Structure 1
Amino acid sequence: MAGGRPVTARTGLDANLVVPDRLDAALAVGPGEVVAVVGPNGAGKSTLVHALSGLVPATGRAVLDGADLLGRTPRERSVGVVFQDQRLFPHLSALDNVAFGLRSRGADNRAARARARDWLERLAVADLADRRPAQLSGGQAQRVAIARALVTDPDLLLLDEPFTGLDVGVAAMLRIELGRHLAEFRGVTVLVTHDALDALTLATSLAVLHQGRVVQHGAPDEVAARPRTEHVARLVGLNVIREGDRLRSFSPAAVTVGLQAPADSTRNRWQGVVRGAAPHGDAIRIQVSGDRDLIADVTPAASRELALVPGQQVWLSVKETAVTTYDATS
């Protein structure tokens, strides 16, 4: 028994969920796998999470380990959810927040609290068991929320941007801890994220959502090498240009930036205006808008010499040998 329910063989998730005017997305994920769902704002990421959890009505198909999710209420689904704003019960202690799911499934109070305390220990917040959510930091509250989602041993774990709002150091530590737990988790995990680090370090596959549809699904390194949307290209730090049924991608480091048009006959040249500049490792990453929205990495010295500040007109060029060309649909 796990959380008061019988343990059954896990076969994964097979879904094609439809929410009118918002979502028509197909997703297949095996047990023990972590799929990171990425896409721009409004692509349907949170709608997908809410549809799988039962918080948003959906039609179509959603079969989890042989069970029809769409025929069940949210409480009847074996789903654990972690939202970016935690959504802990403010009147309950951290311990009772974690125990709540077990108690609602029929576990007695003593057993539920013992299992909840075990999960708080696993996530290094057992000493905060008696505190209420208002007494917790953002990182502490998110650990409690993760414990609450995992304590029932769900068949499906939904993580909706779990590190949003946390400072960089806290997010990094929590990412490591969560990765350790996901490596041991036997169910399916759907991770919604806008962070390339989450997608590339926690996930076994990436699903790219665009206008409510999954337009690319594959291993993280495959998607990163050949992104089919500009959003994913930016997420993994590449430029991508669509030319009919072909996509052309190249690294920001391969881009040459100048104030005059290139003197040679380079095919790949664009004029634009600097919209932003920020440190990126040892380089300065320049965002340029024009006929194409592109990014380029230059040295700090070049940035100063060319006065690459917002509003500066520039020319960008890339050698053909630095461009990878591939089919947009394969």
Structure 2
Amino acid sequence: MSGARLTADLRVADRVEASFVAEPGEVLAVIGPNGAGKSSLLHALAGLVDVTGTALLGDTDLLALPVRERRVGLVFQGQLLFPHLTALDNVAFGLRARGESRARADAVARDWLERFGIAELAGRRPRELSGGQAQRVAIARALATDPDVLLLDEPFTGLDVSVQMALRIELGRHLRDFAGIALLVTHDAIDALTLADRVLVLDDGGVAQVGAPAEVAAEPRTPHVARLVGLNLVADGEEMIAFTPDAVVVSLHEPEGSTRLRWRGPIATVAPHGDVVRLLVHAGPDLLADLTPAAATELGLLPGREVWLSTKATAVSRYPARG
């Protein structure tokens, strides 16, 4: 059924309620703070948690099908493989469970291991694989069954940064050729910006924003998304105000000038951030400010100290609170 649109209206207990549409060939990134229901959403489609509602793939409701008939591939975080099976047998498992002959399943599995550049590891068991190798096997296992829907639950978590980068590039290449629908749960803005066609933002148990990655990054509507893309976000009635940390001026006394927006609060953290020092200030809301190490030293900025933050009105972006 690859090539069909997914129209979902799901309610997972008291954890999340989400309605969304995903087009064939599309990668939909699912982002949001911890506890927003991201994994619950994927697990509902896979049949791992109780859910009410519908998930129409074309004219077929996935939720009405037995789990084994859903043609859904799921990749967990943490390289979860069958420990007693070789890499080849792990990748072939889904096909064998579907009734394919061993010869056919093994042939498809070898092809996928080859595509991920790990064919020589076919005979190894999970304990003999590195984290990156094991996750390549896990992704190959999900893709080998030719699923209609591919569910990726933070697939890069726990991997070294260099391994994450390499695997992100490899996965992106395979997703470009994937005819089905891919849902990618991630906590990393890089994943959303480089792999996704659209972004679904979950917050407070529901959908807070949906849009192209560039649109969501430019006009975030939740503090979590703003932090992901390195912006400050202030709700001002029916309007949102976004601005970068380097547009913020830090002072010990109230700034002058009517053209400046201003906030006051205690410093929560002071930490190096590239060539600058980044402050997190509990100014109601929490705000980030970047300044030079020399300026931070001169002002004596330490956690707990009350400071004023200000920015020029011309340095902020304004847009409606709800799109």
- Shorter-chain-normalised TM-score: which range? over 0.9
- SS of the residue corresponding to residue 40 of structure 2 reads helix
Check the 8 A contact 1:274/1:289 in 2, yes or no.
yes
Match of 2:7 in 1: 14
Report the Cα offset of residue 33 of structure 1.
0.6
Which among 229, 235, 249 is matched to residue 222 of structure 2?
Answer: 229
Match of 1:288 in 2: 281
Cα offsets for 1:243-279 (capped at 9, x unmatched): 2221111111111112222133354111122222333
Which among 167, 171, 174 is matched to residue 178 of structure 1?
Answer: 171
User: Which sits farther off after the overlay, 254-263 or 178-187?
Assistant: 254-263
Does the alignment pair 1:251 with 2:241?
no
In the alignment of these two chains, the number of paired residues is 323
- Distance in 2 (alpha carbons) for counterparts of 1:234 and 1:25: 22
Match of 2:54 in 1: 61
Match of 1:217 in 2: 210
Structure 1 residue identity aligned to 2:124 = R
Does the alignment pair 1:313 with 2:306?
yes
- Distance in 1 (alpha carbons) for counterparts of 2:281 and 2:56: 45
- SS of the residue corresponding to residue 133 of structure 2 reads helix
Check the 8 A contact 2:239/2:319 in 1, yes or no.
yes
- Distance in 2 (alpha carbons) for counterparts of 1:64 and 1:201: 26
Check the 8 A contact 1:208/1:215 in 2, yes or no.
yes
Check the 8 A contact 1:65/1:155 in 2, yes or no.
no
Structure 1 residue identity aligned to 2:202 = L
Does the alignment pair 1:238 with 2:239?
no
- SS of the residue corresponding to residue 272 of structure 2 reads strand
Match of 1:300 in 2: 293
Check the 8 A contact 2:46/2:67 in 1, yes or no.
yes
User: RMSD across aligned C-alpha pairs, in angstroms?
Assistant: 1.4
Please list every run of at least 4 consecutive aligned residues from structure 1 whose deviation after the TM superposition is greater than 4 angstroms.
none
Q: Against the structure 1 CA distance between its residues 309 and 181, is the aligned structure 2 distance closer, same or farther, given a 3 Å change threshold?
A: farther
- SS of the residue corresponding to residue 86 of structure 1 reads coil
Q: Which runs of 5+ in 1 are unaligned?
A: 1-7
Check the 8 A contact 1:266/1:317 in 2, yes or no.
no
Match of 1:4 in 2: none
- Distance in 1 (alpha carbons) for counterparts of 2:276 and 2:57: 46
Does the alignment pair 1:279 with 2:272?
yes
Q: Against the structure 1 CA distance between its residues 157 and 9, is the aligned structure 2 distance closer, same or farther, given a 3 Å change threshold?
A: closer
Report the Cα offset of residue 131 of structure 1.
1.1
Check the 8 A contact 1:9/1:65 in 2, yes or no.
no
- SS of the residue corresponding to residue 318 of structure 1 reads strand
- Distance in 1 (alpha carbons) for counterparts of 2:183 and 2:38: 10
Match of 1:323 in 2: 316
- Distance in 1 (alpha carbons) for counterparts of 2:240 and 2:203: 16
Query: Residues 87-236 of structure 1: matches in 2 within 5 Å?
Result: 87-236=80-229
- SS of the residue corresponding to residue 287 of structure 1 reads strand
Structure 1 residue identity aligned to 2:174 = H
Report the Cα offset of residue 307 of structure 1.
3.4
Identical residues among aligned pairs (%): 62
- Distance in 2 (alpha carbons) for counterparts of 1:9 and 1:131: 32
- SS of the residue corresponding to residue 173 of structure 1 reads helix
Report the Cα offset of residue 152 of structure 1.
1.0
Match of 1:3 in 2: none
Report the Cα offset of residue 99 of structure 1.
0.3
Structure 1 residue identity aligned to 2:148 = D
- SS of the residue corresponding to residue 209 of structure 1 reads strand
Return the TM-score normalized by structure 2: 0.96
Check the 8 A contact 2:2/2:147 in 1, yes or no.
no
Report the Cα offset of residue 128 of structure 1.
1.3
- SS of the residue corresponding to residue 103 of structure 2 reads helix
- Distance in 2 (alpha carbons) for counterparts of 1:112 and 1:182: 21
Match of 1:5 in 2: none
Report the Cα offset of residue 77 of structure 1.
0.6
- SS of the residue corresponding to residue 291 of structure 1 reads coil
- SS of the residue corresponding to residue 47 of structure 1 reads helix
- Distance in 2 (alpha carbons) for counterparts of 1:18 and 1:108: 38
- SS of the residue corresponding to residue 266 of structure 2 reads strand
Return the TM-score normalized by structure 1: 0.94
Match of 1:28 in 2: 21
Report the Cα offset of residue 66 of structure 1.
2.8
